[in-house]
Amino acid sequence: MKVKENIHPNVIAVSKTFQMPDILPLIEYGHIHFGENKVQEALEKWENLKLNNSKIKLHLIGGLQSNKVKLAIKLFDYIHSVDNEKLIKKIADEQIKQNKKVKIFIQVNIGNEEQKSGVLKKNLNNLFNYAQSLGLNIVGLMCIPPQHQDPEPFFKELRNLSEKLNIKDLSMGMSADYILAVENSASFLRIGSKIFGNRIKKF
């Protein structure tokens, strides 16, 4: 499988749980895309820094609770985890209040796993149409393939779904499988340990 022409993936440096001393060298080098899992942690780390560096693009790659939407719209440039109508409505209302639009990925439960977030494939079209009807800027689809399975078939499936919806961006691929993701037209890679090293587990 060859990479599609003109696909130049953006690397999201997943900086969740890491502090600014670990992140600053990457910023100083000129990297602009960073990913966080939790709104409150991101706010504490990034709010002041983003005010002084307009080039930084912050991605929310973890789940978004409806009571955190106001803060998320204020801080983030991209949200990768939208997967239900209630959240879409909350985002749409908040964007009007703040007069700000963020770029949205719909998270697809590509493996139909009960324990995972994401809209089921059979419901994707309806959710996409609903989001568009409320004026959300849906730029792409996001997925996390099932663990301990070959991720490539799931990456291919997400690419096919995006083509049917005529949206170009794909948020897929992490430290262990990003090469396969690139080969299947990923435009945003979520890379953590390959950049920052292994995270220290908190007990």
Residue 148 belongs to domain with CATH number: 3.20.20.10
Domain membership of residue 61 (yes or no) is yes
Domain membership of residue 102 (yes or no) is yes
Domain membership of residue 63 (yes or no) is yes
Which domain does 77 fall in, by range?
Answer: 10-196
| pLDDT at res. 115 | 86
3-state class (DSSP) for residue 34: strand
pTM above 0.75, yes or no: yes
- The torsion region of residue 148 among left (phi > 0), alpha (psi -120 to 50) and beta comes to left
Quote the CA–CA distance of 130 and 117 in Å, as a whole number: 18
pLDDT in tens, the chain (203 residues): 344 455 689 999 999 888 888 899 999 999 999 999 999 999 999 999 998 888 999 999 999 999 999 999 999 999 999 999 999 999 999 999 999 999 999 999 999 888 889 999 999 999 999 999 999 999 999 999 998 899 999 999 999 999 999 999 999 999 889 899 999 999 999 998 888 877 655 43
Domain membership of residue 2 (yes or no) is no
Domain membership of residue 202 (yes or no) is no
Nearest CA to 63 among 28, 87, 37? 37
Quote the CA–CA distance of 117 and 140 in Å, as a whole number: 16
Domain membership of residue 5 (yes or no) is no
Domain membership of residue 203 (yes or no) is no
3-state class (DSSP) for residue 60: strand
| Structural domain count, the chain | 1
Q: Which two tokens stand for residue 171?
A: 């948020």
3-state class (DSSP) for residue 48: helix
Q: Which amino acid is at 61?
A: I
| pLDDT at res. 4 | 47
Sequence-distant (6+) residues with CB within 8 A of 170 are: 140, 141, 142, 155, 158, 159, 162, 181, 184, 185, 186, 187, 188
Q: Taking each helix axis as running N to C, give the angle between helix 124-133 and helix 152-165, from 0 to 180 degrees, rounded to the nearest 10.
A: 40
